[in-house]
Amino acid sequence: MKRLPYLFLIIAILAAACSKETKKTEVKKAKADDSASLKVALVPISATIPFYVAQQLGIYDSLKADIKLIRYGAAIDADTAFANATVDGMSTDVVRAILLNNKRGLYFVMALENKYTLITPHDLRLKNVKDIKERLIAMTRYSAVDYIVDKSLATAKYGPEDANKVQINNLVIRLQMLHNTQVDAALLPEPYAQLPLIAGDRAIVSSSDLSVCTDGMIFSKESISKKEEQIRNLIKGYNLAVEYMNSHPYKEWSKYAAKHLGLEQNVVDTLSIKGHVAVKMQQKDIDAPLEWMKGKKLIDKKASAPQLTNDKFVE
């Protein structure tokens, strides 16, 4: 199948799935009013799939853990839910977490293996970071995406001002604009970054190339105090799901990934998705983005690095 029809089909499928998911999420929010349960907001990326697999396999039931997973298609909506104490915790990135900490005290309880890739349309023949100077880059401001774009530019000795950043919060629109060559590059998380690559577009640089870890699971300090055992079971179930995913054929659990991601099964079958055992969030992975945020005037330049890691949940 040629690049254009193939990617266009995927984007159409993803857009339709996101539309349906909005209604599902609203229903879940309405039901997630049990104060005793651990309510967790998840953005649909590869790194959060094990939580959903654990739920679908009945792992959390076997642990007698009252856990409600609530899917948010947009990170900004998950931010709002956390800030308003609608959920106890969520998947997020360091930049968002530092900003949220000013509204509701929090800790990272584990890191998430979330890879971001800067991708350019095949037709533009852009081969490396040097080629994207003064080009249009689709990204999300005030997030790890913004931070990683600047880190990428720095590898070519460019500053943030050497690229024209276009704020596109909606992932589907970002994919569509990349597909239509309305932007010259876009930074995408896994597994969505694989879609344009399968269709023939080009990867310029990734967060792995930069040795950057920005994502993790946060919980409010109040929730950690009151629901410590449930958080432990959440992570235990996550690790058991990872063990299952890595020891069973992909086809046996890819249906759960498809549902969580909001993609059709035939699309998910073309992707490469793996589970990663929970690891601690490192303070150094918080400190570096913090300094970047000071330069962006997102926080006070005199602000000291907040201690946002809680190591008691992951060995």
Average pLDDT over residues 66-82: 94
The predicted pLDDT at position 185 comes to 97
Predicted confidence band at 2 (pLDDT cuts at 50, 70, 90)? Answer: very low
Identify the helix (H) or strand (E) that includes residue 27. helix 3-31
Say yes or no to pLDDT of 70 above 80.
Answer: yes
Taken in order of first residue, the domains within the chain and their CATH numbers are: 32-113+213-295 (3.40.190.10), 116-206 (3.40.190.10)
Predicted confidence band at 263 (pLDDT cuts at 50, 70, 90)? Answer: confident
The mean pLDDT of the chain is 90
The predicted pLDDT at position 293 comes to 95
Q: What is the pLDDT of residues 164-220, one digit of tens each?
A: 999 998 888 899 899 999 999 999 999 999 999 999 999 999 999 999 999 999 999
Average pLDDT over residues 36-40: 95
Task: Give me the DSSP letters along 166-197.
Answer: EE---HHHHHHHHHTTSSSEEEEETTTTHHHH
58: left (phi over 0), alpha (psi -120 to 50) or beta: left
Please give the single-letter amino acid code of residue 242: V
43's tokens: 């953005």
Select the more confidently predicted residue: 288 or 5: 288
Predicted confidence band at 17 (pLDDT cuts at 50, 70, 90)? Answer: low
The predicted pLDDT at position 24 comes to 47
Q: In the chain, where do the E strands start and end? A: 38-42, 67-71, 89-93, 106-111, 116-120, 136-139, 164-167, 185-189, 202-206, 215-220
The predicted pLDDT at position 31 comes to 47
Predicted confidence band at 36 (pLDDT cuts at 50, 70, 90)? Answer: confident
